[in-house]
Structure 1
Amino acid sequence: MDRMLYVAMTGAKQTMYAQAVNNNNLANANTHGFRQSLAYAYTEPLRGPVYDSRDYVQVADEVIDFCKGAMQATGRDLDIAIQGDGLLAVQAEDGTEGYTRAGDLHIDAQGIMRLGNGLTVLGDGGPISIPPAESILIGADGTVTIRPLGGAPQGLAAIERLRLVNPPTQDLIRSEDGLFRRRDGDPAPADANVRVASGMLETSNVNTVGALTRMMELTRHYETQVKMMSTADNLGKTNNRLLGIS
C-alpha cells in the first residue's frame, strides 16, 4: 500500500501548490500590469535497480504568462501603459533594479517619481526627480517633460526619460517582491523602441472566471488524492488484520 499512499501524497502536495499559485493570481486580478503564473506538473519515475517501480508528481518551474492585459483609459497625465512588449525599471526596496508593467505614477512630497506602491521610478540617469511644475507630461518614448512654475505655456523642459527595457521573456523570473528580474541578475539594457501611452493603465491579464473554475477543479483533485490516501490506509489496516498483526 505504500506505493499507492506515496503516489497520492505527491499528487495532493503538488495540487496544494497549484492552488496557491491560482489563489495568488486571483488576489492580483485587479493589480495593474500583473502577469499571471501558470503551474505545470509532470511525472517522474522512481528509478529501481531493475525497472521503474512508480511515478511521482513533480512541479515544473513557475511559468509566467506574458499575454497582454486590457488597456484602461484614465485621463490622468501620470498614468502610463506600455504598448506592446517592454517593462518599466524601478528601484526595489533592497536597492536593486526590478521591472514591472504597472504604470500608476505619482510625485511624492520630495519630488521623486514613484509607483502607486511607493517604489522609485528609474530614468536613464537613476531615480527621477521632478522640480516644482505647473504640469507634467510623459511622451510616447518615455520622455518626462514639465512646464515650470510660472513658466510660459510653451516653455516646456525635458527632465528625464523613463528607463524602459525589453529583455527576452524567457530570461525573466518573478522575485518574491513581485518584480521581474533577469535570471542572471544583471540589469537589462534600455530599449529605445519601447513605447508608452499616457493617460492609460494596463489591467491584469488574469481571467477571473477561469481562475475561479480552476480553483474548484483543483479542490476536487485534492479531495480525490486525500480519498486515495485514506483508502490506502484502510487497505493496509485490513491486510494487517488478515495477517493477524495487531
Structure 2
Amino acid sequence: MDALIYTVMSGAERAMRAQQVHANNLANLETGGFRANLELASSKAVAGPGYAARHLSELQADAVSARQGVQRQTGRDLDVAVQGDGLFTLQYQGGEAYTRGGNFSLDANGALLFGSHPVLGEGGAIVIPEHSSVQIAKDGTISVQAPGETELQVVDKLKLVKPTMAGMTKNEAGLLVARDGAALAADASVSLNPGHLEGSNVSAVEEMVATMSLNRDFEVQMKMMKAADGMAEAGNRLIRE
C-alpha cells in the first residue's frame, strides 16, 4: 500500500510540473523566436533496504524543442531570421546566451540590442556608427552607409552558432545557454534571412491536447491515492480486530 503511495505522489507532482511547462509554452505563443519547453521525467527506484518495490517519478531538466517557427516578412533593416539551424549570440551577465529572436534595436549610443541584451559579433558587443542605412547580409555581415557616402562599409559580423538543441537549456531570463555553461564557437555555415522574423515554434493544438491529457492523469493519480488510503484503513481495521 505504501509502495503505491510513493508512485502516486511523485506522479501527481510530475503532472503538476508538466502543467506549468505547457502553460508557459502557451503564454509565449506569440513571442518571436520562442522555443517550446519539453517536460521530461523518468522512473527511479527508491534506494535503501526494503524499498525495492517502491518507485518514484523523477523530474529531469526540461529540454528545448528544435522545431522551427514560421517566418514572416517585415522589411525592417534590423529584423533578421535564422534559416535552418542556428542561434544569435548575446552578452549576458559577463558570459554568453543565445536566441532565435532577431528583432534587434539600437540604443542612443548605437549599441545593437536584443531587448536589453547586447548582441555579440566577431569583435565583441556590436556598436553601429552614425549611418543613413544599415544592412545585414545572409552570412551575418553588418554594413552601414555613412551620411553623405555612397559605399557600404562593413562594421562587424554577427556571431552565429549552431549547437545541437539537446545540449541547450534555458536560463532564468528565458535565453538559451549550453548545459555545461561553456561559450559556443561561431559557425560560418549558419545562414540568415534579412528583413524577416521567426515566430514561436509553439503549437497551440499540441499544447492544449497535452494539457487535457495531464488533467486526466492527475485525476487518475488522485483516485489511486484515495484507493491506497482505503486499503491502508482496511488493513488497520483488520489488525485492530
TM-score normalized with structure 1 length: 0.90
| 3-state SS of paired residue (2:144) | strand
Identity %: 40
Q: How far off is 1:49 after superposition?
A: 5.3
Q: Report the AA paired with residue 112 of structure 1.
A: A
Q: How far off is 1:47 after superposition?
A: 5.6
Moved more, 204-213 or 59-68: 59-68
**1:199 to 1:214, Cα distance in 2 relative to 1, 3 A:** same
Structure 2 residues not aligned, in runs of 5+ = none
Residue number among 140, 143, 147 corresponding to 2:145 in the alignment: 147
- 1:25 maps to 25
Deviations 1:21-77 (A, max 9, x none): 111211221111111121233322346758931332223432221111111111111
| Cα distance in 2 for residues equivalent to 1:182 and 1:48 | 34
Q: How far off is 1:237 after superposition?
A: 2.7
Counting only pairs closer than 5 Å after superposition, residues 149-164 of structure 1 correspond to structure 2 as 149=147, 151-152=148-149, 154-164=150-160
Q: Report the AA paired with residue 63 of structure 1.
A: A
Q: Is 1:228 paired with 2:224?
A: yes
Counting only pairs closer than 5 Å after superposition, residues 158-177 of structure 1 correspond to structure 2 as 158-177=154-173
- 1:77 maps to 77
Q: Is the 8 A contact 1:25 1:37 kept in 2?
A: yes
Q: Is the 8 A contact 1:47 1:53 kept in 2?
A: no
Q: Report the AA paired with residue 42 of structure 2.
A: Y
| Cα distance in 2 for residues equivalent to 1:169 and 1:216 | 27
Q: Is 1:181 paired with 2:180?
A: no
| Cα distance in 2 for residues equivalent to 1:97 and 1:86 | 15
Q: Report the AA paired with residue 226 of structure 2.
A: S
Deviations 1:175-198 (A, max 9, x none): 222222223322111112211111
- 2:127 maps to 129
TM-score normalized with structure 2 length: 0.92
| Cα distance in 2 for residues equivalent to 1:217 and 1:187 | 38
Deviations 1:71-129 (A, max 9, x none): 1111111110011111100011x2211111110001111211111x2211111111111
- 2:101 maps to 102
Q: Is the 8 A contact 1:82 1:196 kept in 2?
A: yes
**1:186 to 1:49, Cα distance in 2 relative to 1, 3 A:** closer
Q: Report the AA paired with residue 28 of structure 1.
A: N
Q: CA RMSD in A?
A: 2.0
Q: Report the AA paired with residue 8 of structure 1.
A: V
